Amino acid sequence: MKYIPQVDDYVRWKSDYVNIEGWVYFYDEEYITIETGIKPKPNCQYAKNDRHKYIHTLLLCHPWFWHELEYVYTRKNKHGETLEDMVIFLRNIN
């Protein structure tokens, strides 16, 4: 059985062209996005009342590349700042 990514899985994508790792941020049958980084939004007059406080860097991954993904672990709490705060665990992927 092949791996099917889920939101909040931490994955490594290794191929001849890509070598990244990050959290699965969005899942759809057509593609997933992998969050490779975040940074705070600048404090300016346009963002001061914005509910979204971070800029997310996402990489698109289509299903024909999912066989190149390596599952690492899953998090229960996406708002934690450390792995301990995120409560990571291994999900049964078979």
Residue 1 placed within a domain: no
Could you tell me what percentage of the chain is helix, strand and coil, using 3-state DSSP and rounding each to the nearest 5? 10, 45, 45
Q: Which residue range is the domain that position 53 belongs to?
A: 9-89
Residue 17 placed within a domain: yes
Residue 79 placed within a domain: yes
Residue 4 placed within a domain: no
Residue 85 placed within a domain: yes
Tally the domains of the chain: 1
Q: Has residue 94 got a pLDDT over 80?
A: no
Residue 77 placed within a domain: yes
Question: Which residues, in sequence order, are CB contacts of 87 under 8 Å at separation 6+?
Answer: 75, 76, 77, 80
Residue 68 placed within a domain: yes
Task: Quick: pLDDT tens for 30-80.
Answer: 999 999 998 888 777 766 677 777 889 999 999 999 999 999 999 887 777
pTM: 0.82
